[in-house]
Structure 1
């Protein structure tokens, strides 16, 4: 790999280049509360904006990647916290609640959730980068997703991210925590998690030749 600039210190690989870009983004986020700009990252690294764009298509992708990298330790804690939970409702309710409790007040995640890009919208927690990360997390759980009716888990990953995002942005007055938080998440997220299993059970009792049930399994 050959890139322009880098203040005379050429990265030995694409992986090193990505690491240095993320390091620069982290420094900028830590030093000020202004909107992160690709131009500022490029200036810190001594490269052109095009060099940064080679690895990250935009500021949103850079912010998400930075926050997700910072969350590595948290993800390990989460996987350990729900280890042994084989029921999808129990695991998802606990994982979402645990994430809300641990990430509330985290500066980097608050920046990710509230920073506006292009002057009019906040960074999406359901971008492809975030979704890929969420799928990876769900696959670390001790759950046989297919056994519970999930042919795919994309929609479950998205719904979980949206639930966590909403509660982190507006935790309520007063903010729910502990048992109250878990009961709230279970009441509204639980039925959605049970749906594929219910749909499969309904289809199993449909007589041959009858119209397909409106509850026929959906890809989740």
Structure 2
């Protein structure tokens, strides 16, 4: 690891160097935007050469992806905290999606996930196996007893994929004119929530689930 540059404070480890590169990239993105941020900008911000940055990251998109990932970790913690007290699966999923729709566009680091075409969380990468597995891990953290609700491990993967597909569509391709929050919540309650309101035990594979009444278009989760 080179000890030149770094503002006169060379990192003590590779891990520290990587984190300082990520932090510098975040500052560059704040100033220039993700599209105009280059690896040269990051190197200049740190006072190092491009080759020094290349020792830790192969591409600028890899660094930007790490900036987004770190923002996502904090976001998930806040999401789970927001859902505390909502033990109903349908209510938790709908409220969680509404939280995502409100928060992601206003968070610079989270918004990067929508701009990165090879992102593993949203965009074209939203249906990748690792992204779905990550989504299922997020659902595990919801204050919901999934097993008692008849939702198994395989179901959580499927639910995570549906949620990510819906979020991607709603965030990247809003309706014209745009739906307000109440309309989107009603849409989710009408068409998504009923799938999580089984009235009987979990059915065998190949059998239809029993669903609670869907309610009206403008119904609530209660």
Shared fold by TM > 0.5? yes
What residue is the counterpart of 1:166 in the other structure?
169
SS at match of 2:203: helix
Structure 1, 128-137 or 87-96: larger mean CA deviation: 128-137
Contact 2:65 2:116 in 1 (8 A): no
Q: Map Cα deviations across residues 67-87 of structure 1 (whole Å, 9 max, x no partner).
A: 232345543332222112122
Of 181, 184, 205 in structure 1, the residue corresponding to residue 184 of structure 2 is 181
What residue is the counterpart of 2:212 in the other structure?
none
How far is the alpha carbon of 1:96 from its aligned partner? 0.6
Question: Which consecutive residues of structure 1, in runs of 5 or more, have no partner in the other structure?
Answer: 204-212
User: How many angstroms apart in 2 are the aligned matches of 1:51 and 1:164?
Assistant: 35
Change (3 A) 1:166 1:185: same
Change (3 A) 1:108 1:175: farther
Q: Map Cα deviations across residues 159-213 of structure 1 (whole Å, 9 max, x no partner).
A: 222221211112222322333211212333335546xx6896332xxxxxxxxx5
Contact 2:72 2:109 in 1 (8 A): no
Question: Which consecutive residues of structure 2, in runs of 5 or more, have no partner in the other structure?
Answer: 210-222
User: How many angstroms apart in 2 are the aligned matches of 1:173 and 1:30?
Assistant: 29
Of 4, 19, 41 in structure 1, the residue corresponding to residue 2 of structure 2 is 4
Of 149, 152, 158 in structure 1, the residue corresponding to residue 151 of structure 2 is 149
TM-score of the pair, normalised by structure 2: 0.68
User: How many angstroms apart in 2 are the aligned matches of 1:11 and 1:131?
Assistant: 35
What residue is the counterpart of 1:79 in the other structure?
80
Contact 2:71 2:110 in 1 (8 A): no
Structure 1, 83-92 or 152-161: larger mean CA deviation: 152-161
Contact 1:103 1:109 in 2 (8 A): yes
Contact 2:29 2:37 in 1 (8 A): yes
Q: Map Cα deviations across residues 73-122 of structure 1 (whole Å, 9 max, x no partner).
A: 543332222112122211111101111012234444334313557xxxx6
What residue is the counterpart of 2:206 in the other structure?
214
User: How many angstroms apart in 1 are the aligned matches of 2:61 and 2:124?
Assistant: 6
TM-score of the pair, normalised by structure 1: 0.69
Contact 2:79 2:96 in 1 (8 A): yes
What residue is the counterpart of 1:31 in the other structure?
31
